[in-house]
Structure 1
Amino acid sequence: MRKFIDNSRIYFRSAYIVCFASALFVSLAGCKSSSGGSEAQSVELNGAGSTFVYPVMSRWTSSFSGAHSNVRINYQSIGSGGGVQQVKNGTVDFGASDAALNDDQLNGMKPMLQIPESAGPVCITYSLPGLNKPIQLSSDAIAGIFLGKITTWHDPILAKDNPGVALPNTKILVAHRTDGSGTTNAFTTYLSAVSPEWQQKVGQGNSVNWPVGMGGKGSEGVTGQVRQTPGAIGYVELTFAQQNKLPVASIKNLAGKYIPPDTSSTTAAIAAFTDQLSKDPRTPIVNAPASAPDAYPISTLTFLIIPKDGPDVVKRTALRNFVQYVITDGQAAAATLNYAPLPDGVKDYDRQQLQQMTAAGQPIP
């Protein structure tokens, strides 16, 4: 009898082990099947727009795809105007613009979310071979040059900005964007703020009728024009100037200081508009008041333009996760490429915007 009981115990223990192992196998198989579902499904996201943001966008898309091997992100650096048009037409999943869309523009589109994703300086770059010291420019000098009223580097206004510097008697050749550009919008917004004559004759926008100069497509085109033409001057994102080993000017702000374009001076510009940005992140951050002595005066926020709704749940989820990365961990990468990190108030606004994203009319899980 005892032997029968012992054998029974052995039998039931063996059966329990077999059942547990079988259950574990089924559970693991189910997990593997789940991980091979929507999360592992290949996703391709397409974006287009700002050349200003292209250096950091390249870093963001590469880093995100490296951590999410099933997601591929293509970004075309075609200018803010082109990006806005493509997202309006539905040919891309997101656009990028250095100028926020105003209410009139939004009224002509399906519902869009505008998400500030970085900020940076629009720098004035130039080609003056043999001049080793970076030049300084006041608002009068910049407006005069781009209005075509200051035509040589030996002009008295430029000499006043650069005491002790032997500026050459070289003709100034202006380089500007030919495509619809948020960088142009930021630059002309600054010029309109500091020069009544510019505001009256030219104004601001993604595209303007330039009084003088030669055109280039994208920041790449303007950089190329400046690099190849002695005496040329243009406006580009800082990384483009640095990559092409071109000098950049320090710009005089309302506090009377000549400020170089960099991350810290852009951060100071953002800080000067904290109250306004908390109410409307579309607020321009050019020409900061004199109470911000370290602010670079030609700074701009850049924006992702994203349809509020879309039909594909998997794609929309991947897009939301990418934008979430951009406004959080991606900010550290932005800082290494001369873009200023977003302040906490703007990040909070971005998170609220992301919560409004839907797929097929339903909240994204």
Structure 2
Amino acid sequence: MTPIRNRRLAATAVMGALALTLAACGSDNPTGATSSSSSSSASADDSASTLSGEIVGAGASTQESAMNAWIAEFQNANSGVTISYDPVGSGGGRTQFIDGGTDWAGSDAYLTDEEVTAAEATCGGEIMELPIYISPIAIIYNLPSVSTQINMSAETIAKVFNGDITMWNDPAIAADNEGVDLPDTAITVVHRSDESGTTKNFTDYLSKAAGSAWPYEASGDWPVEGQQSAQGTSGVVQTVQGAEGTIGYADASQAGSLGTVAVGVGDEFVPYSAEAAAAVVDSSTPVSGRSEFDFAIDLKRDTTESGNYPVVLVSYVIGCVNYPADQVDLMKAWFGYIVSAEGQDVAAGAAGSAPISDTLRNEAMSAIDAISAS
């Protein structure tokens, strides 16, 4: 058997455990939108309605809201298709994909060079990394007595999360929040307990924007010992919600009613928004040395451009360029729908993400069009 055929058999086995995860999504339209037939790759046209088969993915929990909406819309338009996605986290998703257990991975961090080599061996050829979800990472906090948004410079954020600033009324925080009555309350840092692409992006921001205040390299594993931890994005949000004085980081789509930090950029403090996150992506550069269909991005975390929010994640779908013949049309249609204007609008409605640019879409479609039988 070829490696990709082994992947197909492994994915089928995993499907049995995951099929119920999104079964309800297949019969409902969570966005309230009607599938359009105008997108040639969106699989909502008459020819795509003949699609059938089962595919499975796993990975970033930040993609979960968008992924649920994508799956619901795609399955509504293609009744013969079953899709499952397990939001185990970026690290778990990449591992499952490399091990041949899934058809694609969702990840908030692009593959390392070592992971690329391993993934190519599993795929039996080239891999693709497609930016499909752009979202700010919100720095969330629970401070009921403060009704205004709190400002923090990158250095202050780093000192808070490194445990060097331990009280909410610390002079460093007060200096950026003139007139705000900050409480004499201890700060409790909450971080991800699992390997996380959100953590990788957040620590990447701190390492590039905060200087010596953050003495660690970017990592998907939280580097500071002795702090409060929680599993997954939802776990961090729930933990912050549960105790006054807490602070954490999470995909902005799940910040809810918690307070959020406006981040120092140049001479201003920028609150998170999809538009401000997308602005950073547009000014960033591709990762060097990658293959033709690998569109990983090095984000400009230390930007000083007005209106840019650099605490941002770009989430990817990671897949093979070669699939078994009976999966080629389905994988093309599925990936094509995700990157289509229609699919991006669905994600924006469900998760508040920023639609990818036409440039990113065209790059992604060059890879999707190249999918062929192994």
Alpha-carbon deviation of 1:284? Answer: 2.8
Amino acid at match of 1:342: I
Q: Percent identity?
A: 28
Aligned length: 316
Letter in 2 for 1:97: S
Structure 1 length as normaliser, TM-score? 0.82
* Alignment map for 1:111-190 (pairs within 5 Å): 111-190=126-205
Matched residues in 1 for 2:57 and 2:236: separation? Answer: 22
Q: Alignment partner for residue 339 of structure 2, among 327, 330, 336?
A: 327
CA deviation digits over 1:215-254, x for unaligned, max 9?
Answer: 1111011111101011000000111112xx212111111x
Distance in 2 (alpha carbons) for counterparts of 1:44 and 1:352: 24
Q: Which residue is 2:251 aligned to?
A: 237
Structure 1 residue runs of 5 or longer lacking an equivalent are 1-36
Cα deviation for residue 198 of structure 1 reads 5.4
Q: 1:331–1:269: structure 2 CA closer, same or farther, 3 Å change rule?
A: same
In structure 2, the residue matched to 1:284 is 298
Classify the secondary structure of the residue corresponding to 2:301. coil
Q: Output the CA distance in 2 between the equivalents of 1:123 and 1:38.
A: 38
Q: Distance in 2 between matches of 1:121 and 1:41?
A: 34
Q: Any conservation in 1 of the 2:139–2:250 contact (CA below 8 Å)?
A: yes
Deviation for aligned residue 1:212: 4.4
- Report the AA paired with residue 319 of structure 2: I
Cα distance, 1:270 vs structure 2: 1.9
In 1, Cα distance between equivalents of 2:51 and 2:338 = 22
Q: 1:333 to 1:41 in 2, by over 3 A?
A: closer
Corresponding residue for residue 59 of structure 1: 69
Letter in 2 for 1:72: T
Match of 1:222 in 2: 236
Residue 165 and residue 39 in structure 1: after superposition, are their counterparts in 2 closer, same or farther (change >3 A)? closer
Q: Deviations over 1:279-316 (max 9, x none)?
A: 774223242522x20010211211001122232x3333
Question: Hey, what's the Cα distance between the residues in 2 that align with 1:334 and 1:325?
Answer: 11
Q: As a proportion of its length, which structure holds more helix?
A: 1
Q: How do 1:1-365 and structure 2 match up within 5 A? A: 40=50, 42-109=52-119, 110=121, 111-197=126-212, 201-242=215-256, 245-253=257-265, 255-273=266-284, 276-277=285-286, 281-290=295-304, 292-311=305-324, 313-328=325-340, 329-336=342-349, 337-359=351-373, 361=374
Q: Which runs of 5+ in 2 are unaligned?
A: 1-46
Give distance in 2, aligned partners of 1:105 and 1:343: 27
Q: Distance in 1 between matches of 2:48 and 2:164?
A: 61
CA separation in 1, counterparts of 2:201 and 2:149?
23
TM-score, length-scaled by structure 2 = 0.80
Whole-angstrom distance in 1 between the partners of 2:51 and 2:108: 32
How far apart are residue 319 of structure 1 and its match? 1.8
- State the one-letter code of the partner of 1:317: D
SS in 1 for 2:169: coil
Give 1:294's aligned amino acid.
Answer: G
Equivalent pair of 2:193/2:232 in contact (CA under 8 Å): yes
Give the aligned residue type for 1:264: E
Superposed displacement of residue 209, structure 1: 2.2
Distance between the aligned counterparts of 2:199 and 2:267, measured in 1?
A: 24
- What are the Cα deviations for residues 144-189 of structure 1, in whole angstroms up to 9, with x where unaligned? 0111100010100110111110011111000101111111110000
1:261 maps to a residue whose letter is Y
Secondary structure of the equivalent of 2:129?
Answer: strand
Shift in Å, 1:352: 1.4
How far does residue 87 in structure 1 lie from its aligned partner after superposition? 0.6
Decide whether aligned partners of structure 1 residues 296 and 41 sit closer, same or farther in structure 2, where only a CA change above 3 A counts.
Answer: closer
Structure 1, 301-310 or 227-236: larger mean CA deviation = 301-310
1:353 counterpart letter in structure 2 = A
1:147–1:211 CA contact under 8 A, matched in 2: no
